[in-house]
Amino acid sequence: MRSFAHFNAATVDEAVSVLRRYGGKATVIAGGTDVLGRMKDEILPAYPEALVNIKTIPGLDFIDEIDGVIIIGALTRLEDIALNRAVQASCPALAEAARRTASTHLREMGTIGGNICQDVRCWYYRNPDNRFSCLKKGGGRCYAINGDNRYHSIFGGSVDQGCYAVHVSDMAPALVALDAAIKTSRREVRAEEFFKVGMLRTTILDDDEIVTEIKIPKPVGWSAFFKFALRKAIDFPIVNCAAMMALAEGKVTEARICLNAVHGTPYRARKAEEVMIGVSINEDTAEAAGSAAISAAIPLTKNGYMVQIAKTMVKRAILACNCPDKL
Amino acid sequence: MAVAAKPGYSCPYCATSFNTVDDLKDHVLKVHGTEALPRPEGYVKLTVNGQAWELEVAPNWTLFYLLHDQLGYTGAKTFCDRGACGSCTVIIDGRPVLSCMTLAIECDGKNIETAEGIAAAKHPLIEAYVKHHAMQCGYCTPGFVVTAKALLDRNPDPTVEEIKEALAGNLCRCGTYPQHPIAIIEAAKKVLAARSENTPA
Ligand SMILES: Cc1cc2nc3c(=O)[nH]c(=O)nc-3n(C[C@@H](O)[C@@H](O)[C@H](O)COP(=O)(O)OP(=O)(O)OC[C@H]3O[C@@H](n4cnc5c(N)ncnc54)[C@H](O)[C@@H]3O)c2cc1C
Ligand code: SF4
Ligand code: FES
Ligand code: FES
């Protein structure tokens, strides 16, 4: 790994001020599990000149519950989220997403802030020494579109088209389904908006902005998370899905369903949500919602198999939300 | 991991390169007349298996490089060097973590335990691993043992499922997986027995 300057930030303001002074040439490091991999392989044309360690900022590693609202500090490790009683009781989708991420070691290191800000895993993009200078790195073409795209987007290119890399976070779809808000050093945005950016970035964060807290409003219903991966541990999702369903008299009154690893941003399955409103949760309705979720799929040459998996993930997540007594 | 022979610190205002953080700091103060960049780090105080160290480390040293190549704690091994195999596991403040994905410079004030410490303390895990021969080539074994030690510290009576879950991040190319829960359950019993002996009735 090549060298860089290193700063231990003592406060959020200090982190922001160092980032601002480096104007895009410095990178935040939290658990480091994503950023150090990127640096060791030198995948990007530009190597960071400085790392700003935010683990030294006190008060960002906590889980609080206030009147049913769960607030999680950006530095909270995924293992702590997975094992937290309050999270398990009111936001099972989030606890399960954390539990299914990577491996014990990576969950003991990886933070929720880092998880939602992690970079894509497209294997052309991640190839060492910037071997493929693709569109996402400011190069001329996408190598996946005519290459091996078995783990790429089944819902078309990113917002400004062109890049087919998927967002692989396991926590992100759970946060979108639970309608969480992401608080940064300068604003608060809803989880869904946080990821809506063009292909050159993975979040709306400015160069000198950091995530400080994640707020989950009191859930309106039971939630569930499902992940399909080739291996049980240390494996990114092929497809994952989180859902939350509010029920009244056996009928769904509110539905939020979010897939991930299928598109450049977490993919809200709105058509599936529409199917579920006003009906009860059963095999047939969940099946119909699964089909609706993938109605807009346009798979690439090698990832057609993901479409059926996405449908099944949606179906399973919906069925698992049928627990009216648990909340 | 290769360590750059000459660390370069470049100025955020004019991109001039410097060899040391101190040179960069002087430059920023004198040439640009700004406030100093906050505390560039370099010195760390940490404890490894009970022994205190005060060291100057380069920003790009991983904890693995510091322990293995600089301090001679060669128990931890690197296999993937990318966070995907667990063979470099050490315990930091009670958590089993990957030393290949941890920067040494960020370990100030940390309490670190390695396979050497576990062996020196004659932890029952060592004997159980030998007895059940939970290894073939042995390369991954320290990573498994350290992970198992962290598990037993928190959960002295784990089920086979809990053991499998805790070890899910440790890869073994020789495929010794079935032996680990056997060895760990046996060690757990000894740890529990030793504890109840030490607690006055
Ligand atoms: C082998 C392996 C397997 C993995 N498997 C999975 C998996 O199954 N599912 C999954 O979701 N992920 C997986 N990951 C990705 C893993 O890195 C994340 O899960 C982890 O949570 C990232 O957190 P971190 O704190 O280590 O992030 P870092 O590496 O510290 O940071 C990641 C990125 O976010 C930025 N960042 C971090 N914190 C903040 C903040 N507070 N504000 C602004 N920016 C910030 C950093 O600048 C960096 O760009 C895996 C990683 C590895 C190496
Ligand atoms: S999918 Fe995106 S990241 Fe991958 S090669 Fe194409 S442009 Fe690059
Ligand atoms: S060498 Fe650190 S996880 Fe593989
Ligand atoms: S014993 Fe050889 S890699 Fe595990």
For residues B189 and B158, membership in a common domain is answered with yes
For residues B55 and B148, membership in a common domain is answered with yes
Q: Is the pLDDT score of B189 beyond 50? A: yes
Please report the atom of ligand 3 found closest to the CA of residue B89: 2
Whether A151 lines ligand 2, by a CB cut-off of 6 Å, is: no
Q: Is the pLDDT score of B71 beyond 90? A: yes
The pTM for the full model equals 0.93
Q: How many domains does chain B have?
A: 2
Alpha carbons B48 and B57: distance in angstroms, whole number: 15
Phi, psi of A31 (to 5 degrees): -70, -25
For residues B20 and B56, membership in a common domain is answered with no
B73 shares contact with chain A (CB less than 8 Å): no
Q: How far is the CA of A91 from the centre of ligand 2 (A)?
A: 33
Between chain A and chain B, how many beta carbons pairs sit less than 8 Å apart?
A: 127
Residue whose entry in the numeric block shows the structure tokens 């930091």: B92
Token pair belonging to A181: 């808000």
Whether B163 lines ligand 3, by a CB cut-off of 6 Å, is: no
- Residue A199's pLDDT is what? 81
Q: How far is the CA of A154 from the centre of ligand 2 (A)?
A: 14
Q: How far is B198 from chain A (nearest CA, A)?
A: 30
B186 is a domain residue: yes
B179 is a domain residue: yes
| SS3 label, residue B191 | helix
Span B66-93, average pLDDT: 97
DSSP assigned state of B66? I
Q: How far is B197 from chain A (nearest CA, A)?
A: 31
CB-closest option in B101, B108, B165 to A109: B101
- Residue A256's nearest CA partner among A177, A173, A170, A174 is A177
- Residue A259's nearest CA partner among A180, A211, A317 is A317
Q: How far is the CA of A135 from the centre of ligand 2 (A)?
A: 6
For residues B61 and B88, membership in a common domain is answered with yes
Residues of B in Cβ contact (< 8 Å) with A77: 95
Report the residue of chain B nearest A54, measured CA to CA.
Answer: B106
Ranges of chain A whose pLDDT falls below 50:
none
| SS3 label, residue A79 | helix
For residues B95 and B154, membership in a common domain is answered with yes
Whether A122 lines ligand 2, by a CB cut-off of 6 Å, is: yes
- Residue B198's pLDDT is what? 79
Residue nearest to atom 3 of ligand 3 (CA): B83
Residue whose entry in the numeric block shows the structure tokens 């991640």: A126
- Residue B42's pLDDT is what? 80
B22 shares contact with chain A (CB less than 8 Å): no
**Residues A71 and A213 sit within 8 Å (Cβ to Cβ):** yes
| SS3 label, residue A285 | helix
Q: Which residue intervals of chain B are DSSP H helices?
A: 21-31, 63-64, 115-120, 124-131, 141-154, 160-166, 179-198
B178 is a domain residue: yes
B108 shares contact with chain A (CB less than 8 Å): yes
For residues B9 and B84, membership in a common domain is answered with no
B37 is a domain residue: no
- Residue B6's pLDDT is what? 45
Alpha carbons A17 and A23: distance in angstroms, whole number: 10
Please report the atom of ligand 3 found closest to the CA of residue B83: 3
Span B193-201, average pLDDT: 79
Q: Is the pLDDT score of B36 beyond 80? A: no
B69 is a domain residue: yes
Report the residue of chain B nearest A52, measured CA to CA.
Answer: B40
Q: Is the pLDDT score of B114 beyond 80? A: yes
For residues B12 and B49, membership in a common domain is answered with no
- Residue B35's pLDDT is what? 65
B41–A104 CB contact, under 8 Å: no
- Residue B24's pLDDT is what? 77
For residues B26 and B47, membership in a common domain is answered with no
* Strands B43-48 and B17-18, bridge-based pairing: unpaired
**Residues A126 and A43 sit within 8 Å (Cβ to Cβ):** yes
Q: Mutation target for A interface from B20, B60, B152: give the one with most A CBs within 10 A.
A: B60
For residues B182 and B137, membership in a common domain is answered with yes
B82 is a domain residue: yes
Residue B134: which domain range?
43-198
**Residues B63 and B70 sit within 8 Å (Cβ to Cβ):** no
pLDDT tier, B12 (very low <50, low <70, confident <90, very high otherwise): confident
A272-313 pLDDT per residue, tens:
999 999 999 999 999 999 999 999 999 999 999 999 999 999
| SS3 label, residue A299 | coil
For residues B19 and B68, membership in a common domain is answered with no
B36 is a domain residue: no
B116-151 pLDDT per residue, tens:
999 999 999 999 999 999 999 999 999 999 999 999
Span B67-72, average pLDDT: 96
**Residues B50 and B106 sit within 8 Å (Cβ to Cβ):** no
pLDDT tier, B5 (very low <50, low <70, confident <90, very high otherwise): very low
Residues, chain B, total? 201
Span B10-22, average pLDDT: 77
Q: Mutation target for B interface from A7, A16, A96, A103: give the one with most B CBs within 10 A.
A: A103
Q: Residues A121, A126, A127, A130: is their CA dihedral positive or negative? A: positive
DSSP assigned state of A62? -
B71 shares contact with chain A (CB less than 8 Å): no
For residues B159 and B81, membership in a common domain is answered with yes
Instruction: Specify the CATH number for the domain of residue B155.
Output: 3.10.20.30
For residues B140 and B88, membership in a common domain is answered with yes
Report the residue of chain B nearest A9, measured CA to CA.
Answer: B38
B95 is a domain residue: yes
B162-186 pLDDT per residue, tens:
999 999 999 999 999 999 999 999 9
Q: Which of A115, A166, A228 to mutate to test the pocket of ligand 1 (most atoms within 8 A of CB)?
A: A115
Whether A135 lines ligand 2, by a CB cut-off of 6 Å, is: yes
